[in-house]
Amino acid sequence: MKIEISDKLYQYLKTEDIKALTLDFEQTKTCCGQPDLPTVKKGQPPYLENYIRLETRDVVVYVNQSLKVPEKQIRLDLYAFLFAKEITIEGVQKC
């Protein structure tokens, strides 16, 4: 599995002194069920046994083994609008 971090996200991580990210899934409740949506959290997970450890550009990324990555490649980017910043994920499907 390959992980790619955009230049914009890399600069943000360096500025904020973030050295690890965790790709996980979050259960959301809706009227039609509970879909699991992929999420990115700053830092490493509390328990490492269910995660794959990947490293790129001096950043460690922990990927939950339950996430579906059909192309075996994940791309992380930074979306910024006014004062809001969000890390986006490409290449991961809903569980």
CB atoms within 10 A of CB 46: 6
The class that CATH gives domain 2-28+35-90 is mainly beta
Residue 74: half-sphere exposure toward Cβ, Cα within 13 Å: 26
pLDDT value at residue 28: 54
pLDDT on residue 95: 57
Write out pLDDT tens, residues 50-93.
Answer: 999 999 989 999 999 988 888 889 999 999 888 889 999 999 87
Give the angle subtended at the CA of 89 by the CAs of 87 and 92, to the nearest 5°. Answer: 155
**Nearest-angstrom CA–CA distance, 11 and 5:** 10
Residue 9 host element (H or E): helix 7-15
* All structural domains of the chain with their residue ranges: 2-28+35-90
Here the tokens at position 75 are 């791309």
Its sign, for the CA torsion 65, 71, 73, 77, is negative
pLDDT in tens, 3-62: 999 999 999 999 999 999 999 877 555 556 555 678 899 999 999 999 999 999 899 999
Q: What is the pTM of this model?
A: 0.83
